[in-house]
């Protein structure tokens, strides 16, 4: 059976053992004679799945008691609207840090609901670094401060999170949730589309401090009110049952591999191997400032852009899939989420070395 190292930014690689388990259980889940896809979301068996997934995530991330974990649909993109609809309701003002394409989309959407201020941005240098944010920049009256902790397209990540004092800190963690240890209590709300580091597309995870729930306006659509999902245990209507089941298997896999602390070590090692090679190369280079580099998404460029296509094609022939950079940045990008093993990154570096030697000799 053919399996490749898939460097896609999302949907992305899933652990092979998880896929095998899904295959094994596909036709008859726990001897029910039914697939998880066919189970009622209100059945006892499924209740164990969804509550089990929640508990595993709570344990993995050390989520405090006063936070709710919600499993909803609509992707991270729907959160761009849901967050202001639920949180931008006191002063009607929010502060945003603009670190790239996803931040911009979040900003654009929030503007439909209130007064949005961009307090820091790295747009001046094509979003190749994370701007400094200090507490004096924050409006103490703001309903929240929004950051994108890992910028999937640009390949940057916050190393320290801004201290926002009493102003709630909201974070889009779509592309780095579960990749490194974080202190959840520093955030008021964390959200992530599942298809990068959690499971299949179709599921969005929201971790929200309880005091922020229940303030949406009367006119807020039921499905877009956090209260609806919080009060029903994410079972107000039919949730994405299969995606939640698979997320649970990924959480199990993470726990079996030593949890986030162990995963972070591997992730740092993977990024180190790739960045070491890039930094030592006379051919490849990184557009991202060293202090702002993501360990999940690593863009790199070659001086002769005409070689991009050849690189991506030859890599693909070697089972190194989807290395083309995002259309807004160009070049290449390797997304190396939790499910990408160190061997995958080593195989990529081996190929890069071959490619470099071949083309440097030709020059
Ligand atoms: C992928 C991504 C999104 C969009 O997620 P969808 O689930 O497709 O809406 C938003 N923010 C970040 C940081 C992402 O990486």
Q: Residue 172 contacts by C-beta under 8 Å, 6 or more apart in sequence?
A: 76, 79, 102, 103, 106, 146, 147, 148, 149, 191, 192
CA nearest neighbour of 130 among 146, 108, 151, 144: 151
Backbone phi, psi, residue 146, to 5°? -115, 130
Closest ligand 1 atom, CA of 194? 7
Mean pLDDT per block of 10 residues along the chain (363 residues) reads 96 98 98 98 98 98 98 98 98 98 98 98 97 96 98 97 96 98 98 98 98 97 98 98 98 98 98 98 96 98 92 97 91 98 98 94 59
Closest ligand 1 atom, CA of 193? 7
- CA pair distance 292, 91, nearest whole angstrom: 32
Q: What is the DSSP string of 102-150?
A: HHHHHHHHHTTTSEEEEEEE-GGGTT-SPPP--GGGS-TT-SEEEEESE
Give the pLDDT confidence score for residue 90 in this predicted structure. Answer: 97
pTM for this prediction: 0.97
The first and second tokens of residue 240, run together, are 């994405």
Give the pLDDT confidence score for residue 234 in this predicted structure. Answer: 98
**76 within ligand 1 shell (Cβ under 6 A):** yes
The partner residues of 297 in beta bridges, in order of sequence, read: 335
Please give the domain boundaries of the chain with CATH numbers for all domains: 16-256 (3.40.640.10), 259-361 (3.90.1150.10)
Question: CA-based Rg of the chain, rounded to a whole angstrom?
Answer: 21
Distance from the CA of 76 to the center of ligand 1, in angstroms?
A: 5
**Strand positions, DSSP E, 16-130:** 67-72, 93-98, 115-121
Give the pLDDT confidence score for residue 289 in this predicted structure. Answer: 97
Give the pLDDT confidence score for residue 36 in this predicted structure. Answer: 98
Residue nearest to atom 2 of ligand 1 (CA): 174
Residue nearest to atom 8 of ligand 1 (CA): 75
């Amino acid at each position: 059976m053919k399996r490749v190292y898939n460097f896609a930014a999302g949907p992305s690689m899933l652990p092979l053992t998880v896929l095998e388990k899904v295959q094994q259980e596909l036709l008859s889940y726990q001897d029910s004679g039914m697939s998880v896809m066919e189970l009622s979301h209100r059945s006892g068996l499924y209740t164990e799945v969804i509550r089990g997934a929640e508990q595993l995530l709570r344990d993995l991330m050390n989520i405090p008691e006063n936070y709710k974990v919600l499993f909803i649909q609509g992707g991270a993109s729907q959160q761009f609207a849901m967050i202001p609809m639920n949180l931008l309701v006191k002063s009607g003002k929010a502060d945003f840090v603009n670190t790239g394409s996803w931040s911009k989309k979040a900003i654009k959407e929030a503007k439909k609901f209130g007064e949005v201020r961009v307090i820091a941005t790295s747009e001046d240098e094509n979003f190749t670094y994370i701007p400094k944010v200090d507490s004096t920049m924050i409006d103490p009256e703001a309903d929240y401060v929004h950051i994108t902790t890992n910028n999937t397209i640009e390949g940057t990540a916050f190393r320290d999170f801004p201290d926002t004092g009493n102003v709630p800190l909201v974070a889009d963690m779509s592309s780095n949730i579960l990749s490194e240890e974080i202190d959840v209590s520093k955030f008021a709300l964390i959200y992530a589309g599942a298809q990068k580091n959690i499971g299949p597309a179709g599921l969005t995870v929201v971790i929200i401090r309880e005091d922020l729930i229940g303030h949406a306006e009367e006119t807020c659509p039921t499905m877009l009110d956090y209260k609806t999902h919080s009060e029903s245990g994410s079972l107000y209507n039919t949730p994405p049952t299969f995606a939640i089941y698979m997320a649970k298997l990924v959480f199990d896999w993470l726990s079996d591999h030593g949890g986030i602390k162990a995963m972070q070590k591997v992730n740092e090692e993977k990024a180190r191997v790739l960045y070491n090679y890039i930094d030592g190369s006379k051919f490849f280079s990184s557009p991202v400032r060293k202090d702002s580099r993501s360990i999940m998404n690593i863009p790199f460029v070659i001086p002769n852009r005409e070689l991009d296509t050849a690189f991506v094609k030859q890599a693909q022939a070697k089972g190194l899939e989807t290395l083309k950079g995002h259309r807004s940045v160009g070049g290449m990008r390797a997304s190396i989420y939790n499910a990408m093993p160190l061997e995958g990154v080593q195989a990529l570096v081996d190929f890069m070395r071959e490619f470099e030697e071949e083309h440097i000799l030709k020059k």
